[in-house]
Amino acid sequence: MANSILETISSEFASTAEKVGSSVVAVHARRWMPSSGIEWTKGVVVTVHHGVQRDEDIKVLLAGGRVVSAKLAGRDPSTDVAVLRIEEGSSGAPQLGDSTSLRLGHLVLALGRTRCGDLVASSGIIGGISGEWRNRRGGQLDQHIRLDLALYPGFSGGPLLNARGEVVGINTRGLGHGRAVTVPVATVNRVVEELLKKGHIARPYLGIAMQPVEVPENMRSKLLTETRAGLLVVHIENGGPAEKAGVLLGDVVFEMGGKPVEHVDAIQDSLATAKIGDVLQVRVIRAGEIKPVSITLGERSR
């Protein structure tokens, strides 16, 4: 009975690898080893940003051994996703799955393609999974999916498959300090859509530099919360959102969106989920008085 189950699982994984493998490519966009990629939709290849080290003379090796030229449509270092366009792709796109159905310990399969065009695979389990994750590059991923499998050199950019043979994300070693993680389908779709539309990811920003300082003793009693620290504005970008809103050098930001801000990370958390055009309600200490400031977020210059 046990042998029968193992044979069934083995056969299904082999069939899955063969089926999805027709969409897996090798991307030659760096000096030595190529990265893997996958034709997400017809003529659109998704791979990893860290594997695309040049913007021109990019070649893609397709499943049948054919090499085609590719143009960089855009890249997002914060999620380690790059998008390429090719004129001659395969006939179909892979079946995408819902990564939120993954559970700790689920069997998964990672695919890649070598420099010579061979399809390669690595199997393992989901080693860790949780909700939204803001990585060290500031990118917001819909899930934090950590893999317990060997992600060999050149595998980054290839797909992760669940037991049903669906693509649930793109694998990379470029986000988790060398650990194998997966950028989930929902994040990839969001990034691909914007890169194809704009060529870059629009990032909201304030246009100020700040550093932590203690709130003066005589001001603490005037604050609604027991705030002991805030962020001193030490630089304001000319023409930036903060300057347009009237923020001044020497202001101490202590509240944003109704929440205390004692560290720069708190600002980054607020911006991670904000959109360009959103209005942030900020409260600052200025010359011993509390002042409300409304900052309309702008798009960071590329």
Q: Distance of CA 39 to CAs 180, 205, 251, Å?
A: 21, 33, 50
d(CA 146, CA 149) in angstroms, rounded, equals 9
Q: Which residue is catalytic, options 36, 156, 251, 270?
A: 156
Look up residue 137 and give its amino acid: R
* Whether 156 is catalytic: yes
* Whether 99 is catalytic: no
N residues, the chain: 302
Rg (CA), the chain: 23
The set of residues, in sequence order, having a beta carbon less than 8 Å from that of 74 and lying 6+ positions away, is: 82, 83, 194, 195, 196, 198, 199, 200, 201
Q: Which residue is catalytic, options 35, 36, 49, 50?
A: 50
Q: Which residue is catalytic, options 76, 80, 142, 251?
A: 80
* Whether 50 is catalytic: yes
Catalytic residues: 50, 80, 156
